[in-house]
Amino acid sequence: MEEMFAPSMLYEFGIWYLVFLFSLTLHEGAHALAARLGGDDTAYLGGQVTLNPLPHIQREPLGTVLLPIASFFFAGWMMGWASTPYDPHWARRHPRRQAAMSAAGPAGNLLIAAAGFAALSLLLGAGTFVVPHVDGLSISHLVEPNASYGPGSLMHPLAMGLSIALSLNVLLFLFNLLPLPPLDGSGVLHGLFPDSLGRGIDALRANPMMGMLGLLMAWQVFDYIFYPVFRVVLRLLYAQGS
């Protein structure tokens, strides 16, 4: 228990939560903005077309506060969720717009991942960051400052924050695009093929248990998708520091 609340653990938790909350907020804000641009003001009227995390926390306190804290201290990384309301009648009338709304959230995560990759590549190429020893490599420790930066340097939290931003947002992008309800990928398929796959997805969504089953299935297959993709990302990233 003492190790759980050690200063180093709390320091890492603070960086993790800031990146996690920003990533989740941008994801949901992108959904809300895409819906409004497509003609549905439901989320906009709820105050969710914003990068302010408070409206998203107020809507889903369990997924944005309690579960991320618990998962970090018991698993070493954060998981959680938020949600964006939309008008289902609007979605049925405009399936392509629904597909765009569903894709907008993962696209926001891809944007963060690309920005993190670009920043890390630049700093690796400049020699500011170096590749850590393989034994110390983790999703929150993809790089570290070179030896000239002391323990108190701001380069240390920057290295951790950018590492988490890249790792977490690649994960969120890929996971949310899996075509299983209730994930965003199912919404994209529903909007693109409303008269075929969309009917099957509607049938699955009508049963609340299918949402839980969809998440369980997604976790079962996700390792086979994430790790090969992430290895490619790391090879491209570390080529900048060689």
Segment holding 10, helix H or strand E: helix 7-37
* Alpha-carbon distance values, 125 to 119, 122, 170, 237, 242 (Å): 10, 5, 21, 10, 8
Catalytic residues: 28
Task: Report which of 233, 121, 107, 221 is spatially closest to residue 172, judged by C-alpha positions.
Answer: 107
| Residue written as token pair 């939560």 | 17
CB 162 within 8 A of CB 16: no
Per-residue pLDDT of the chain (242 residues; tens, 9 = 90+): 556 667 788 999 999 999 999 999 999 999 999 999 999 999 999 999 999 999 999 999 999 999 999 999 998 889 999 999 999 999 999 999 999 999 999 999 999 999 999 999 999 999 999 999 878 789 999 999 999 999 889 999 999 999 999 999 999 999 999 999 999 999 999 999 998 888 888 887 877 787 788 888 998 999 999 999 999 999 999 997 65
What is the distance between the alpha carbons of residues 27 and 148, in angstroms, rounded to a whole number? 37
Q: pTM for the whole thing?
A: 0.94
Angle between the 7-37 and 95-125 helix axes, to the nearest 10 degrees? 140
Task: Report which of 84, 43, 41 is spatially closest to residue 63, judged by C-alpha positions.
Answer: 84
Q: Which two tokens stand for residue 9?
A: 């653990």
Q: Which two tokens stand for residue 163?
A: 């590492």
In the chain, domain spans: 3-241
What is the distance between the alpha carbons of residues 113 and 224, in angstroms, rounded to a whole number? 20
